[in-house]
Amino acid sequence: MNTTLVSTSNGFHDFDITQYGGVKRATVSPNIKKGEPFNVYLEEGAKIGAIWMGSAGVNKEDLQRSIQKAVKIASHPVK
């Protein structure tokens, strides 16, 4: 997974996501804390909610880990 910060306008960190199974973009609050939600956008146009798995503040390692968990959960919905 490659993550590239493309914008910090509008109060969010906006990341382009490439090379990770249909994930296109993520938007994260700069003050995010562990357990808080953020949005992940898929290439097909869908949006999924993700939970921040890292410590307070934005860093790429925590972003990647949080996206991986959200995609795993979204691909195996509870029945």
pLDDT tops 70 at residue 75: yes
Determine the average pLDDT of the residues in 9-31. 93
- Predicted local distance difference test score (pLDDT) of residue 55: 86
Q: Tens digits of per-residue pLDDT, 38-74? A: 999 998 888 999 999 998 889 999 999 999 999 887 7
C-beta pairs of 10-13 under 8 Å, 24+ apart in sequence: 13/58
Residue 68 CB neighbour total at 10 angstroms:
16
Question: What residue ranges do the domains of the chain occupy?
Answer: 2-74
Determine the average pLDDT of the residues in 5-18. 94
User: Where is 60: in which H helix or E strand?
Assistant: helix 60-74
